[in-house]
Amino acid sequence: MFSPKIQNYINSSGQMQAFSRVNELNNYINSIYPKENINQTANLSAFQEILAESKKENKEPSVFELDSPPNVKKITPLPFGSLSKKTESTSLKTKDAILGYIKDASEKYGVEEKLIKALIKQESGFNPDAVSKVGAKGLMQLMPATAKSLGVVDVFDPRENIEGGVKYLKQMLDKYNGNKILALAAYNAGPGAVDKYDGIPPYKETQNYVKAILLQYL
C-alpha cells in the first residue's frame, strides 16, 4: 500500500496490531517521510485518518460492502445478483467473469487484485454500464480520451475496460515509484495535478477518493 519501508513495518507488526498502535506508527512514519519524494503533510494526514477509521472497525472492510464516505463522487452500484436484464444476458458481465478479468489484469501488470477491486468499487460500484456526469465510463470509469490512448475500443466491455484501467493504474504506480497514495490521486485528478502540488491535490473529492480506496484496500 505504501513505500516498502512502511509496508514492511506494518507487515512485521501484524496489520491489525499496527492499527492499535497508531501513535507509534505515526512517529515511525514521521521519521522516514522526509526521505520520501512525496508531500509529507497531505499524505500523512490522510494516512492518520485511515488508521483511525480502521481502528474503529477493528476488521478488514469488504470491498463489496463498504459504503463510500460523504462528499465522494458516487455512482449507484449495480449489485451482483440483481443485474439488469441486458447485463444478465451478457455472460461477459457476470460476477465470475469480472473477477476473472481482474485476476488476469493483476497478473499481467503486477498490480494487486485487492487494490484493483477497491478502485473499481469506488469508481463504479462494480457496475459495468456506469456513466458519470463528466463522461467517464465502465467499471474503471475511463474518460474517452484516456480509453483511446490505452487502446480500449469498447469501454462497456468489462475485459477491455479493466485491461485499460489497470494498465493506466500501473503507469501511475511506476511514475510514482510504487506509491499507491500518489498513484490513486493521479488516477482521479490526473498526474499533472499531483505533480503541481507535489502530493495529493487540495481537492476534497480527490482526498476523500484516495482515503476511501485505501480504507477498502486495508
Which residues are catalytically annotated?
123
CA distances from 191 to 169, 197, 200, 201 (A): 11, 10, 10, 10
- The contacts of residue 169 (CB under 8 Å, 6+ apart) are 109, 111, 115, 116, 119, 183, 187
Question: What one-character DSSP code corresponds to residue 136?
Answer: -
C-alpha grid cell, residue 30: 514521521
- Which residues is 131 bridged to in the sheet? 137
Exposed e or buried b for every residue in 192-216, given b needs 16+ CB within 10 A? ebbeebebbbeeeebbbbbbbbbbb
